[in-house]
Amino acid sequence: MGKSRRTGRRLALTTAAIGLALNGVGAMSTQGASAAANGPCDIYAAGGTPCVAAHSTTRALYGAYNGPLYQVRRSSDNHTTNVGVLSAGGTANAAAQDSFCAGTTCLITTIYDQSGRGNHLTQAPPGGFPGPAPGGYDNLANATAAPTTVGGRKAYGVFVAPGTGYRDNHTSGIARGDQPEGMYAIFDGTHSNSGCCFDYGNAETTSHDDGNGTMEAIYFGKIKVWGYGSGNGPWIMADLENGLFSGVNQHYNANDPTISHRYLTAIVKGGPNLWAIRGGNAQSGGVSTFYSGKRPNVAGYNPMRKQGAIILGIGGDNSHGAAGTFYEGVMTTGYPSDATENAVQANIVAAGYR
């Protein structure tokens, strides 16, 4: 394929992604319970980097998605129920959870993968770092600890207290080795600590530390042991195993700012000798690039040795000392363009987290 044809294809994909985002903005600004024209994963697909995992307890991430978002278990009788959307492409049916959990407490047992690949997140098993519960399994999140609204509709996020964690070690389609991938997550930028490690993304399938480059996940928090940015934190960084990287340097990188929006968009993406950190306010504006360039000049990170598990709230070896709140996130195959991510950010802003 010639250079001019490749350039034309990239421009066409970028235009399609931006067009989808504008569609989504128009639909979601009046959405509430009604369907969105397009979700973030429709935009990624139009950009040529489709989602291979899509997790949210607050809304559908595809315009046509009409399945379950998550499952809760109530303490009174250990029964479970799935919480879905109010309509295809819409927000969570929080009233169903409230009715099911009335008079008792509920835990989030499963966060379903909307991509159709079955990459569901469940209670994290024991790992190289000992777990807090008998048998070493991590705790599950209280289903009502992170209330929010999306498009004017009530929803619940995933409140990760230290000791809480979710994982899938048997995934489909997630990047392995040095394969390119992208990911974003919406976090509560006011809820973090300096424990290790509040992550979402690609990790070891063994639940152990398998060495440099065996992870590629979004980290959010204030820990400074391995890496940090400007100010006092928290920072968006990349957990690449045995290193939290705020840029190309192993420790301090001034261009990675302290960022603490109430609703925060955090992005990490990586490919062969290339990766980036981006972030912004999930309620307004765009996303900024804090780093984009070559892999760290440290043995083991180029090429990468990603294994393809998915984690939430923990490190690759099941380190579970961190705190944070998760609302939605996806992982893609392929390295998304900035234009595609900008279009996804427009969709997130239009969703109306409050």
Q: What residue type is assigned to position 122 of the chain? A: T
User: Is 341 annotated as catalytic?
Assistant: no
Which residue of the set 199, 239, 241, 256 is catalytic? 241
Q: Where are the beta strands (DSSP E) in 121-194?
A: 121-123, 141-142, 147-150, 153-156, 158-160, 166-168, 181-187
Which residue, chain included where needed, has tokens 């391995």?
Answer: 226
How far, in whole angstroms, is CA 125 from its chain's centroid? 20
Q: Do 125 and 207 touch, CB atoms closer than 8 A?
A: yes
User: Is 241 annotated as catalytic?
Assistant: yes
The span from the CA of 153 to the CA of 60, in Å, is 13
The span from the CA of 36 to the CA of 199, in Å, is 28
Q: Which has the closest alpha carbon to 313: 207, 205, 208, 165?
A: 165
The span from the CA of 319 to the CA of 232, in Å, is 22
Which residue of the set 138, 181, 317, 328 is catalytic? 317
The span from the CA of 236 to the CA of 297, in Å, is 20
Catalytic residues: 241, 317
